[in-house]
Amino acid sequence: MSRVFITGSADGLGQMAARLLIDAGHQVVLHARNAARAEEALKAVPEAETALAGDLSSIAATVALAEQVNTLGRFDAVIHNAAVGYQEPRRIATVDGLPHVFAINTLAPYILTALISKPKRLVYLSSGLHRSGDASLVDLAWDRRPWQGTAAYSDSKLHDALLAFAMARRWPAVLSNALEPGWVATKMGGAGAPDDLQAAPKTQVWLAVSDEPSATVSGAYFYHKKPRETHPAVRDVAVQERLIEACEGFSGIRLPD
């Protein structure tokens, strides 16, 4: 049995993954952005160990969430599932003055990775849109660029893949991988999304707990449990390191060796 923490698991793919894990006999801790949502999540999945609350758009709240996770003890896997989509028509600033999309999709996974006690496995949800992300990493805060919601989302999903590959390289004792679940009919994806919703949560569950040789790898990218090519920059160590340096600058949190 494995113990797994899943961010953004009050609904959508995060909750679906939690149900699959629990049905297979694993222990799961849920997460939602506030206490009310955490309570709803636990009512929806009462077999979960507990549900933690933490607003990932806030650096301080994300740090506090990491502390809550560590108080519960070590986890075998962390699934970085939480994300916001590309529908934001303007640059929405967080309490820290950062774009909402960047704070939740990029900076929060970095902070949680840095502060949660090292699990055995890290799983990061990316997207097929990461292939159109900007690998220059220029103006990550969108202070100078005209706002484009889809581009900001694509950038953030590129960042998630970069982080997964960076951690695979930096922490060789931890299995760290990324995946794209497909464009599916969740709240984010919309009702007309064409991909298989039932298949969408299975790869992250597989990467988190499976002992199959194809799942016990590190520094890989998957779609429906099959390897898939990434944006070329994902494997570029210099780009990985620039992202980590930038995230450290924004958060004030250093990634441990």
Active-site annotation, residues: 153, 157
Q: Roughly how many angstroms between the first and final C-alpha of the chain, as a whole number?
A: 28
The one-letter code for the residue type at 210 is S
Closest CA to 108 of 124, 90, 89, 85: 124
Return the closest-CA partner of residue 26 out of 50, 48, 46.
48
> Phi and psi for 28 in degrees, rounded to 5?
-130, 135
Instruction: Tell me how far apart the alpha carbons of residues 181 and 201 are, in angstroms, rounded to a whole number.
Output: 7
Q: Residue 114: what are its φ and ψ, rounded to 5°?
A: -70, -35
CA distances 213 to 207, 219, 221, 226, Å, are 10, 14, 15, 12
Amino acid of residue 63: V
Task: Please report, as a single letter, which amino acid is at residue 201.
Answer: P
Find out whether 233 and 239 touch, Cβ atoms under 8 Å. Answer: yes
Spatial distance between the Cα atoms of 68 and 233, rounded to a whole number of angstroms: 34
Distance CA 111, CA 31 (A): 15
